[in-house]
């Protein structure tokens, strides 16, 4: 079974300048022999998530945070409602903002034999800062699960 382990956020992620301020960050990695682009990895991470996860998670994001999802069907410029922010040879990033003041960024970074999926969060309002500890618990459970799932496909 593939194991996703917590790791340092790669320096490349900060160099992308996706947020003006980062209040939370984490990263998970898996070793892999799969030859995928960073975009393919992030698509497998998000679009490969089970429907029982996708629908409730998006619903909670909209209801609790006013998450501003784009199209969830295959659409240029989006990955499952997340806006594409960066496309590079070894990195790919998507973002999701909310009217409640939470800005999230997911970044896939590939290197020979491994992939890292990093999360950056900015909390711009007291509401977002109060909601984040609850959301964080779910995130820290599901992020490695989704990466393991993507690696096993």
Residue range 135-146, pLDDT digits in tens = 999 999 999 999
* pLDDT higher than threshold 90 for residue 83: yes
- The pLDDT mean for the chain works out to 94
Domain positions in the chain are 5-151
pLDDT digits (tens, 9 = 90+) for 32-82: 988 899 999 999 999 998 888 887 778 888 888 999 999 888 889 999 999
What does the alpha-carbon distance between residue 122 and residue 109 come to, in Å, rounded to a whole number? 20
Burial of 137 (0-12, 13-18, 19+ CB in 10 A): exposed
pLDDT of residue 42: 97
Q: What is the pLDDT of residue 72?
A: 85
User: What's the fold here for domain 5-151?
Assistant: Alpha-D-Glucose-1,6-Bisphosphate; Chain A, domain 4 (3.30.530)
What pLDDT is attached to residue 59? 81
pLDDT of 93 strictly over 80? yes
- Nearest to residue 26, comparing CAs of 147, 140, 124, 153? 140
Q: Give the residue, 59 or 108, on which the prediction is more confident.
A: 108
* SS3 state of residue 17: coil
* In the predicted structure, residue 127 carries a pLDDT above the cut 70: yes
- The C-alpha torsion from 96 through 107 and 117 to 105, rounded to 10°, is -30
Higher pLDDT, 132 or 49: 132
């Amino acid at each position: 079974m593939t194991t996703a382990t917590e790791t340092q956020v790669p320096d490349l992620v900060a160099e992308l300048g996706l947020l003006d301020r980062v209040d939370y960050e984490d990263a998970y990695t898996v070793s892999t022999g799969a030859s995928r682009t960073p975009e393919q990895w992030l698509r497998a991470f998000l679009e490969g998530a089970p429907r029982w996860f996708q629908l409730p998670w998006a619903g909670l994001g909209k209801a609790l945070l006013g998450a501003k999802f784009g199209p969830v069907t295959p659409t240029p410029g989006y990955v499952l409602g997340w806006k594409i922010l960066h496309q590079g040879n070894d990195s790919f990033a998507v973002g999701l903002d909310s009217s409640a003041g939470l800005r999230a960024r997911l970044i896939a970074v590939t290197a020979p034999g491994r992939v890292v999926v990093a999360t950056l969060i900015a909390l711009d309002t007291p509401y977002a800062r109060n909601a984040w500890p609850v959301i964080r618990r779910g995130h820290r459970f599901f992020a490695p699960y989704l990466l393991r799932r993507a690696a096993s496909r």
